[in-house]
Structures are given as structure tokens and as C-alpha cells.
Amino acid sequence: MNTSPAPSPRVVLYARISEDVTGEGVGVRRQLDACRDLAIARGWIVVAEATDNDVSALRGKHRPGYAQVLDLVRAGEVEFVVVWQTSRLLRNRRERAEAIELLGRQRVGIITVKGQDLDLSNAYGRGMAGMLGEFDTMESEVKSERVAAAAADRARNGRPNGALGYGWRKDGTGSAAVYVEEPEQGEVVRGIVRRLLGGESLHGITDDLNARGVPAPNSARWGKTSVRKVATRPANAGLRVHHAGRATETTYPGTWPALVTVEELERVRALLAAPERRTNGITRPGARKHLLTWGIGVCGVCGGNLRVGVKGNARHGTKKSLYLCAEKGCVGRDEASVDTLVRGVVMERLSRDDALDWLLGDDDEARRIGERARELRTRLDDAADQYADGVIDSRQLERITARLRPEIERAEHDHARANRSLDLDTLRALAGPQAGERWDQMALAARRAVLETLGLVVHVDRVARRGPGFDPESVRIAWRQG
């Protein structure tokens, strides 16, 4: 008869905290200490300790510590899993079902510091694990719903969801605190928007801000991404966006002072989102170096874009740049001669008495298209509110969104094309006898913006005559307006 004592059970300790604000892991350490004390008091052998800090179990995110526990269970290395409460281990429905099946098959029990121990080797224990886990899940979901409702309430009342960021500062404390403009930062934001609408490039603005030592968000140097982000925030125009980018996206008036107008925000966002500025997320080559590449100048034969190539030898003084058909090489023309011709035609038109009215274009048309885009977005926002209030279900919201989204995108695209991309001050400075002087002072990016605003298209045709010299008849200049 064997009278030797049974071996001590082997256990793994597991601790998890959903949200660790300080990042110091105090909560999981406290849970592990309690689990360790329990194991020592019962004379158990602790095989491993696993933790998941600042990880929610409800959302199904990967939990490395949890995965380690299951690996030990599968390998038959432990008889018990020790936790503070079952909610630390079994909160997600899918993971709970898988864990109950695995632990039951391996005859591994769950031991809790606070709560009921669970023997998963029998039906009663597995059933209790499922019921307790479901209550834990319900508790988490109710909390999430409260948090979501509070966030929606803040949005409807125009309150920011956290700090507003660059351009504002909090004035006061507690519930009486309000956001006010931080004057120096606010002026930087307005300056960035004005300069973009004035035709300057992100690259040039970024370099200038860093050269002048203008403080950037988060005390870092300015980059093109941060300049773009600062310029295009809805908060700049005093707008509070809730669920940005989702089907339920809704916009409300904010409670903080606007730094720019809604119209300026819409124009700068349309400007920076324009497809001619980017190709697969990369700035199109040559767009900052040449006047007529990428959309302004086109091949008169095949309609393709123009690129710039070099002909001749610099050492022999015969090197020169040519506008070439980027698609098939149909045409080639001296870049400097074409640019000079374009300048002359544009300056002649801008020097006329009616130049300013012509530059401003049909504001009524742009306004009508803009109102149509806003009307459609308001209808989508109303549908999102009806879903939040329980008037319609998720299937109905999806149908409404699927129908309105394409209409909104078309209307906003048409609005961007109808709306001028240059600000009024720049347009006024260009109109009149001083047009040529002002043009020569402008950066290349600003000149391109002027031509894009005018809707200018330069067709480079094949030459009709043979012989040396530039033939101006081989270049056709067309206006999309007036």
C-alpha cells in the first residue's frame, strides 16, 4: 500500500487590467500578489505567472499572457489557473467558450481569490463558468454603452472629446473650464491655412516654419504631415465631429472659438485632397519644379500629361529643358519658351479692367453646389441620430449610408472644382496692371495654383512648320472659364 502524500498541484497565476492610466502595472502586481499568497497558503507549486496589462478582454484583442496560460493548459503543465476573479480570465464570449472546452478537456480548474472556484471537469462547473462569464460580459458591455452615451452627449453639446490641441488652451478648472484661443498658436494655424490657399506648397511652408523656429505641436519640428493635419482639422472651424470616418459620423457646432471660417476649412481640405496633388499617396514628381506638368499642360496629340526632359550637353552650352509628352513622346517643346508664352497670355488677361470679376467666377454656382453637399451630409447626420435614438435599426442605417455616401462624394468633388482654391487677397493682388510684377514675385507652387484656379489648359501640338526657333502657333491655350 502506497502511503506517500499526493504531489502538490501545479498552478499558473494570471492577472489582467483593462486600463492602466499610469502605465506602471500597479493593478496587475496587486492581483498577482493576492494570487501568489493563495497558492503559497495552499502549498501549491507555481509553474508560471502571466499578465496582460492595459488590455481589454471584451474587445477580443490579443492577450500574450492569456495565450501563455492556454499553452500551459494544452501541454498538461498545470492543474489549476489562479486568478483574482473569473472576469480577469473569461470576459469575451468567443474566448470563454474555447477556454471552457479546453480547460474541461484537460481537467484544469479555475481558482479565484474573490469569487467561486470552478471545476471544469464536470457539467455543473462548465455551466457555472458560462453563466458567471456571461454576467461579466454584460457588466463590461453596460459600461461600454454608458461610456458611448456619454461621448455622444459631449458631442451633441459641442464639447471636445479630450484636449483640443494646437491653437487653444483650457481656461479654468473642473466643469467651469472652457477652451480659449492660444493667440500665437492660433495665428500660426490661420497663417498656414492662408498660405495654402494662397498657393504655397506644404514643403515650402514646412521649411519656413522650421527656419523661423515656430514651435510645433508636441515640441517637435514641423513636418509636411503635421502641417497638413493642423490645417485640415474640423476643430479649426469650430466643428465637433463624432465617429469620424464611420457610417454614423455626425458634425455638431463646437463650444470653442473658431480659428478659420467653415468656407476656408472646406477650401483647404478640398485643395489638399485634390487628386492632381498626389499619386498613390506620393507627391507627383515634377509638380513643384515645373509650371505645366501634371494636368496643366497636355499633349495636343494624345491628350496625355507633360513631363520635362533634358536635351543637349551642358558642357557645350546646348543643354535645354523640354516639355515632352509623358505618355507616348508625341511632342517636345522648349520649356522656357512655352512658360514665357503662357505668362504673356495670362498677364494680358489679368491686366484687363474686368479681371477681378473674371477671377472670382460664378460664386452662386459654387455656393449652390456647396449647399447641396451640406444638405446631403445633414441627411446622413440625421439618420445617425435616428439610429442612436432607436428610431431606425442598423440595417436601415446601412442602406441610407450606402445611398447617400456616393451622392455626398460627388457633390463635394463638384464643390471642390467649382470653388476657387486661392484666397481673395491673392486674387485681388493679381488683377490689374501690377499682374506681371506680382506673378514674377510668386513661388512656382503659387503660380501653378493660379493656373489651376483659372482652369488653364495648355495644349502642346506638333509643329506645323520646319526650321529653327520656337513656333508659338504650336501651343494652344484654353480657359475652362469665361
At 312 the pLDDT is 66
What are the distances in angstroms from CA 372 to CA 154, 207, 380?
28, 38, 13
For residue range 419-448, list pLDDT tens digits in order.
Answer: 555 566 676 777 788 888 888 888 777 788
CATH of the domain at 86: 3.40.50.1390
**CA-to-CA distance for 104 and 125, rounded, in angstroms?**
9
Can you spell out the DSSP letters for 70-99?
HHHHHTT--SEEEESSGGGT--SHHHHHHH
- The mean predicted confidence, pLDDT, of the chain is 81
Domain presence at residue 121: yes
Stretch (H or E) spanning 12 = strand 10-17
Lowest mean pLDDT of 166-175, 202-211, 365-374, name the range: 365-374
Query: Could you tell me if 120 and 126 are in contact, meaning their C-beta atoms sit under 8 angstroms apart?
Result: yes
Mean pLDDT of 115-132: 89
Domain presence at residue 31: yes
Residues 53 and 97 in one domain: yes
At 186 the pLDDT is 92
Domain range for 461? 282-360+424-479
For residue 136, pLDDT beyond 70: yes
Query: Could you tell me if 190 and 423 are in contact, meaning their C-beta atoms sit under 8 angstroms apart?
Result: no
Angle at 341 between CA 336 and CA 344, to 5 degrees: 125
Domain presence at residue 162: no
At 208 the pLDDT is 87
Query: How many other CB atoms are there within 10 angstroms of residue 161's CB atom?
Result: 12
| Parallel, antiparallel or unpaired: strands 282-283 and 278-279 | antiparallel
Which 3 state secondary structure label does DSSP give 20? coil
Domain boundary among the residues 244, 273, 302 is at 273
For residue 413, name the pLDDT band (cuts at 50, 70, 90).
low
Residues 286 and 378 in one domain: no
At 293 the pLDDT is 74
DSSP H helix total and E strand total for the chain: 15, 16
At 376 the pLDDT is 83
Residues 250 and 261 in one domain: yes
For residue 410, pLDDT beyond 80: no
At 25 the pLDDT is 72
Mean pLDDT of 285-298: 68
At 20 the pLDDT is 62
Residues 199 and 298 in one domain: no
Can you spell out the DSSP letters for 192-233?
HHHHHHTT--HHHHHHHHHHTTPPPGGG----HHHHHHHHH-
Domain presence at residue 164: no
Pick the more confident residue, 175 or 444: 444
Residues 227 and 347 in one domain: no
Residues 308 and 445 in one domain: yes
**CA-to-CA distance for 9 and 2, rounded, in angstroms?**
19
Residues 117 and 38 in one domain: yes
For residue range 313-370, list pLDDT tens digits in order.
Answer: 655 556 788 888 887 888 888 999 999 999 998 888 888 877 777 666 655 666 677 6
For residue 281, name the pLDDT band (cuts at 50, 70, 90).
very low
**CA-to-CA distance for 188 and 166, rounded, in angstroms?**
9
Pick the more confident residue, 108 or 208: 108
Domain presence at residue 166: no
Domain presence at residue 5: no
Percent of the chain at pLDDT exceeding 90:
23
At 277 the pLDDT is 52
For residue range 234-278, list pLDDT tens digits in order.
Answer: 999 988 888 776 677 788 888 889 999 888 888 888 878 764 454
Mean pLDDT of 87-106: 87
Residues 116 and 247 in one domain: no
Pick the more confident residue, 120 or 161: 120
Query: Could you tell me if 274 and 300 are in contact, meaning their C-beta atoms sit under 8 angstroms apart?
Result: no
Query: Could you tell me if 109 and 79 are in contact, meaning their C-beta atoms sit under 8 angstroms apart?
Result: yes
The most confident of the ranges 1-5, 79-83, 328-332, 461-465 is: 79-83
Whether the predicted model's global pTM rises above the 0.75 cut: no
Domain presence at residue 471: yes
Residues 238 and 112 in one domain: no
Residues 48 and 184 in one domain: no
Written as nine digits, the cell of 126 is 462548465
Query: Could you tell me if 427 and 360 are in contact, meaning their C-beta atoms sit under 8 angstroms apart?
Result: yes
Domain boundary among the residues 248, 273, 298 is at 273
Burial label for 91, CB within 10 Å (0-12, 13-18, 19+), is: buried
For residue 3, pLDDT beyond 80: no
Angle at 338 between CA 337 and CA 344, to 5 degrees: 90
At 286 the pLDDT is 45
Residues 38 and 96 in one domain: yes
For residue 82, name the pLDDT band (cuts at 50, 70, 90).
very high
Number of folded domains that form the chain: 4
Domain boundary among the residues 273, 298, 318 is at 273
Query: Could you tell me if 192 and 228 are in contact, meaning their C-beta atoms sit under 8 angstroms apart?
Result: no
Provide the CA 138 distance to its chain's centre, in angstroms. 32
Domain presence at residue 393: yes
The most confident of the ranges 42-46, 62-66, 93-97, 156-160 is: 42-46
Residues 290 and 342 in one domain: yes
Lowest mean pLDDT of 197-201, 283-287, 409-413, 448-452, name the range: 283-287
CATH of the domain at 211: 3.90.1750.20
